[in-house]
Structure 1
Amino acid sequence: MDDRQFRNAMGKFATGVTVVATEVDGNVYGMTANAFMSVSLQPKLVVISVAEKAQMLKKIKQSGTFSVNILAAEQKELSMIFAGQLKEHRDVEFEHLGKIPVIPGAIAQITCEVSVAHVEGDHTLFIGKVTNIQLEDGEPLIYYSGKYRKLENDD
């Protein structure tokens, strides 16, 4: 199988869209990610996957903390900014939950301390111990087969 076939197959799994954020020396850094999942309830753990070539890898290692912000359906532009899909500069406002930066309006803000990091293939998996959660009402932004989507209500 070639790389394109593998990517196309992985794209058939519909996911939510997150922005992972961290802060180093007073500067906030973020990246769009859909490689996120819960790991454990006791203790509360999540995992994110960061490419070895991503600048976020070094930043998360430096800070030892990160947030996972599950984006609302109307936050597509934020996803595009942090995925590098928009070339013109846009300022993004962050809030803090505890001392960790989060995206205002995200339907879930999850802050974490890095518990352990595992290098697997061309990515590092960061296991994060959840330190705080804030939830908002709203519909999630969905990503499927290379396109942004919204949930359709069957009610």
Structure 2
Amino acid sequence: MDDRKFRTAMGKFATGVTVIATEVEGDVLGMTANAFMSVSLNPKLVVVSIGKNAKILNKIKESKIFTVNILAADQQELSMIFAGQLKEHKKVTFDRLDGKPVLAGALAQIACEVSAEHVEGDHTLFIGKVTDIHLEDVEPLLFYSGKYRSLTEEKLVTL
């Protein structure tokens, strides 16, 4: 099967949008990703998948920390900035959660310490032990079939 067919099939899975961030010697680097999932409740673990050519890959290996910022519906511009889709944009500032860089206004901020890494295919899977979480009560930014989407509430009819 060809690469395009595989990518199209994977794009049929609706996902949230995250920005993965890390910091080395005061330099914060972020990357938009939708390859994120929870792994375990006890201990609290998550996984992110980072491509072998991503600038952030070696930074996470060096820092041994990362954050997952689950973006809110009004943060599409941040997603595009960290995906390298916007050449001109405003400077992004980071807040802190457990001493790690996070994006203000994100639906969820998840601070992690790397507990394991596994190379599979052309990606490295980083297992992160969750050290802190901050939540906001806002709508999520979604991605489906190559486009940003929003969640529309369905009205339940009571009979």
Name the CA shift for 1:6/1:132 in 2 (closer, same or farther; >3 Å).
Answer: same
1:130, 1:43 → 2: CA distance?
Answer: 8
Q: Any unmatched runs of 5+ in structure 2? A: none
**Aligned mates of 2:38, 2:93 — CA distance in 1:** 26
Report what 1:32 is aligned to: 32
Q: Which TM-score applies when normalising by structure 2?
A: 0.96
The one-character-per-residue Cα deviations of 1:90-149 (angstroms, maximum 9, x if unpaired) are: 310100002100000001000000000000000000000000000001000000000000
For 2:134 and 2:99, locate their aligned partners in 1 and report how far apart those are by CA, in whole Å: 14
1: CA distance between counterparts of 2:99 and 2:52? Answer: 26
**Residue identity opposite 1:150 in structure 2:** S
Moved over 2 A (4+): none
Q: Percent identity?
A: 71
Aligned residue identity for 1:106: A
| 1:68 alignment counterpart | 68
Deviations 1:38-79 (A, max 9, x none): 000000000000001101000101110000000000000000
Letter in 2 for 1:113: E
1:110 aligned residue: 110
Partners of 1:57 and 1:136 in 2: CA distance: 28
2:126 corresponds in structure 1 to: 126
Q: Which position in structure 2 is the counterpart of 1:135?
A: 135
Aligned residue number for residue 5 of structure 2: 5
Matched, 1:46 2:42: no
Deviates more, 1:81-90 or 1:114-123: 81-90
Q: What letter corresponds to residue 134 of structure 1 in structure 2?
A: H
Unaligned runs of 5+ in 1: none
Query: Number of residue pairs matched?
Result: 155
Residue of structure 1 equivalent to 2:96: 96
Aligned-partner SS, 2:149: strand
Tell me the amino acid that sits aligned with residue 29 of structure 1. Answer: L
- Give the whole-Å Cα distance in 2 for the aligned partners of 1:82 and 1:128: 21
Root mean square deviation of aligned Cα: 0.6
Does residue 78 of the first structure (1) align with residue 105 of the second (2)? Answer: no
Question: Tell me, what secondary structure is at the counterpart of 1:7?
Answer: helix
Letter in 2 for 1:116: A
